[in-house]
Amino acid sequence: MINRLTRNVLMTPFLIWAGLFIFIPLVYIIWFGVTDKAGNFSLDNMAMIFEKGFWNALTLSVWLAFVSTVVCLILAYPLCLILTERQRDNTTIISLLFILPLWMNSLLSTMAWQTILEGNGIINQFMRLFDLPALQMINTEGAIVVGMVYNYLPYMVLPLFITLSKIDRSILEAAHDLGANSWQTFYRVILPLSLPGAVSGITMVFIPALTTFVISAMLGGGKLLLIGNIIEQEFTFQYDWHLGCALSVILMIFIILNMLLTAAFDPIKEEEKD
Amino acid sequence: MKRELIHLENVGKSFGSLRVLDEVDLSIYESEFITLLGPSGCGKTTMLRIIGGFEMPDTGKVIFDGKDITKLPPNKRPINTVFQKYSLFSHMSVEENIAFGPNIAGKSSDYIKDKIKYALKLVNLEGYEKNDVTKLSGGQQQRIAIARAVVNEPKVLLLDEPLSALDLKLRRNMRRELVRINKETGITFIFVTHDQEEALSMSDRVVVMNQGYIQQVGTPENVYNEPENAFVADFIGDSNIIDGIMVRDKLVKIFGREYPCVDGGFPENCPVDVQIRPEDIILAAPHEGVFTGVVTRAVFWGMSYDINVEADGFEWLIQSTTARKVGEEVSLHVKPENIQIMSKPQSEDEEVAQND
């Protein structure tokens, strides 16, 4: 057993870290968010979110993050089910392949998508080969969703794969034994048992998708602005730190809302309550 | 004669190069409690899984009630299973677990409610409907697993070492319960275990298996008292197994001495395995009995002593209620009816011996 004193001593570096690099910056952001340039308390910057441009960027961000999360979920479930089957046959190499994009620089992979989707890109060159009309793919919402899904899919696959592989095979056999076919086994047993994994996957995809500015800048071509791009502009071009911080705080509220919402559906939390 | 419910016909199964079941034939009758008994790796669990539909045999057929069900998936078979690890659905309450099967079958909610009550009463867990299955004890979880299976009114219940995770007292209790449920419901029980005590105390019939072969099928008394070969004799209970020669009917030669017995039907001077149970050996004063030797070890077990006696270069195991001291000279004596003569392994079983 670690006694109280050594525990406190061991905690100290982490407390200093948390104070210096998490707590103080957070206080600064909130402080900048609720003050104007003269340093007086003001909610004007916060209210700016209701300005048409900002509001549109926020709703578009939430919408695209939502769509990307749903797409990731739909892609990840069957993939993870196959992977868990495979894992039982000891071919883990495939699961490694799906983690591999995580090792690649996301900027690089997003640039790759640029070359694939752009007007003179790989897909359109291919279309031309068959005398088909060129497609407008780059600078669309679809392109941003493709970029988000590509970059964040591993974050959905990992937690889902872990929870699915923890489900004992005999549980599935029991369901089968009691008369359930494969589909009934999936939605009555596998789905509810894998929900905690899905919930953490949703959080891990939704939050970076909501705050990204790289993917939208590269695949949205500066025409489709997400809230992340606006915040970036406020800091790097407009030098309006107060507005930037206010928008960040609002984004944070949306993230907290999302986490509360997913926590409400988390069956593990449910168990701890009673 | 009871009605045959399941017939395994030449069932064979290999995993890779490992032969787990080798052309097994077995009849299982309606309402009986039959136990598949054998050491780990003998093929008993594979046989159970083939009956349940979880494994497909490489060769042979599974006949259920006259119909070939070899290729039928588990959810289409009138058979339910109680798994070794209980395998309850942890995200459901007790009643949701039990209702799983009837729900899938599309039964009415009134019917399901009645059935849950009946099933919980059957396993002595009335009033546990709303409980969380993960918070139940091992014994209770096992009972819920039984209730969840029985509620579907299967013709056959498969039990895969269901008592192995319970402690001794609970296990004894559950043995009685399982026999009671078998008699009360009339469901055929196919029980898999490596524990000979379980097999002997619960079953109507015992199937002794080793290395993918059925060694003997019979009532518990039958396999204990009249083992057909040295494996069965050795696996069930303790045994002294001695090489002997059947001089003629009712006369066997062991350690150079001719000894009367009650078995016959062997060719003259045929080599045989002779089995004598430790509890059947009577200790007497030196030279009063047939073999005289020295006590090498004596262990007290509560009800009796396990005594080792070395005589004629053979270490005899004897169970006796009277204590003997190590180094003491004693003689041994056996009643002719307690000598069991078994033929030496033949072709198929020789293969088995080679695999050992």
List per-residue pLDDT tens for chain B, 356 residues long.
589 999 999 999 999 889 999 989 999 999 999 999 999 989 999 999 999 999 999 999 999 999 999 999 999 999 999 998 889 999 999 999 999 999 999 999 999 999 999 999 999 999 999 999 999 998 899 999 999 999 999 999 999 999 988 888 888 889 999 999 999 999 999 999 999 999 999 999 999 999 999 999 999 999 999 999 999 998 998 899 999 999 988 999 998 888 889 888 888 888 999 999 999 999 988 888 888 899 999 999 888 899 999 988 899 999 998 888 999 999 998 999 999 999 887 655 444 444 44
Residue of A nearest to B152 (CA): A178
Quote the Cα angle for A135-A141-A145, to 5°.
105
8 A C-beta contact, residue B42 and residue B18 = no
Query: Buried b vs exposed e over B340-351: b needs ≥16 C-beta within 10 Å?
Result: bbbbebeeebee
Among candidates A202, A108, A109, which has minimal Cα distance to A155?
A202
Query: What per-residue confidence (pLDDT) applies to B355?
Result: 41
What was the pLDDT predicted at B353? 44
Tell whether A272 lies on the interface with B, counting CB pairs under 8 A: no
Neighbours of B36 (CB within 10 A): 28
Residue A183 with chain B: CB contacts under 8 Å:
none
Give the separation between CA B127 and CA A147, rounded to whole angstroms. 55
Look at residue A98 and tell me if it is in a domain. Answer: yes
State the best of A169, A177, A187, A195 to mutate against chain B, taking most chain B CBs within 10 Å: A177
A170, A171, A180 ranked by CB distance to B104: nearest? A180
Task: Return d(Cα A264, Cα B133) in angstroms, integer.
Answer: 22
Residue by residue, pLDDT tens for chain A (274 residues) are 567 888 888 889 999 999 999 999 999 999 999 998 888 898 888 898 898 889 999 999 999 999 999 999 999 999 888 888 776 655 566 666 767 777 788 888 888 899 899 888 888 888 888 888 888 888 899 999 999 999 999 899 889 988 998 899 899 999 999 999 999 999 999 999 999 899 999 999 999 999 998 899 889 887 888 888 989 988 888 888 899 999 999 999 988 988 888 777 665 544 443 3
**CB nearest to B87's CB, from A170, A184, A188:** A170
Inspect the interface and report whether the beta carbons of A178 and B84 lie closer than 8 Å.
Answer: no
Residue A43 in any domain: the answer is no
Q: pTM (2 decimals)? A: 0.81
Is the confidence metric ipTM above 0.90 for this complex?
Answer: no
Contact A174 B89 (CB under 8 A): yes
A 154-173 residues with CB < 8 A to B:
168, 170-171, 173
- Interchain proximity B90–A168, CB inside 8 Å: no
The answer to whether residue A130 sits within a structural domain is yes
Nearest CA in chain A to B132: A271
| Residue pair B49/B192 in contact by the 8 Å Cβ criterion | no
Position B1 scores a pLDDT of: 54
Q: Is A18 part of a structural domain of the chain?
A: no
Does the beta-carbon distance from A170 to B91 stay under 8 Å? no
- From A95's Cα to the closest Cα of chain B, the distance in A is 25
Structural domain boundaries enclosing A227: 51-273
Residues of chain B contacting residue A179, judged by C-beta atoms under 8 Å apart: 75, 101, 104-105, 152
Residue of A nearest to B75 (CA): A179
| Rounded-to-integer distance, Cα B110 and Cα B112, Å | 5
DSSP, res A120 = T
- β-bridge pairing B314-320 and B305-311: antiparallel
| CA–CA separation, B276 and B237 (whole Å) | 11
Is residue A201 included in any domain, yes or no? yes
Is A156 within the bounds of a domain?
yes
Closest CA to B247 of B230, B234, B235, B259: B259
**CA neighbor of A170 nearest in space, from B160, B175, B13:** B160
Q: DSSP per residue over B253-302, as a string?
A: EETTEEEE-S---SPTTEEEEEEE-GGGEEEESTTTSSEEEEEEEEEE-S
Residue among A173, A179, A189 minimizing CB distance to B101: A179
Rounded Cα distance, A251 and B136, in Å? 44
The pLDDT value recorded for residue A264 is: 78
The burial class, CB within 10 Å (0-12 / 13-18 / 19+), for B321 is exposed
Q: What is the DSSP letter of A168?
A: -
**CATH number of the domain that residue A196 is part of:** 1.10.3720.10
In this structure, are residues B235 and B38 in contact, taking their beta carbons and an 8 Å threshold? yes
Q: Let me know if residue A14 belongs to a domain.
A: no
The DSSP bridge partners found for residue B356 are none
Q: Are strands B156-160 and B79-82 parallel, antiparallel or unpaired?
A: parallel
What DSSP character marks residue A210?
Answer: H
Q: Is residue A29 part of a domain?
A: no
Q: Return d(Cα B289, Cα A72) in angstroms, integer.
A: 83
Q: How far A93 CA lies from chain B's nearest CA (Å)?
A: 22
Chain-chain contact of A189 with B89 (C-beta, under 8 angstroms): yes
pLDDT of residue A273: 37
Q: How far is CA B309 from CA B87, B230, B261, B265, B316, in A?
A: 48, 21, 22, 31, 5
Domain count, chain A: 1
Give the separation between CA A160 and CA A84, rounded to whole angstroms: 10
CB atoms within 10 A of CB A62: 18
Closest CA to A193 of A213, A225, A158, A169: A169
Write the residue in A170, A176, A267 that is nearest to B75 by C-beta: A176
Domains in chain B (CATH in brackets) are 4-225 (3.40.50.300), 238-355 (2.40.50.140)
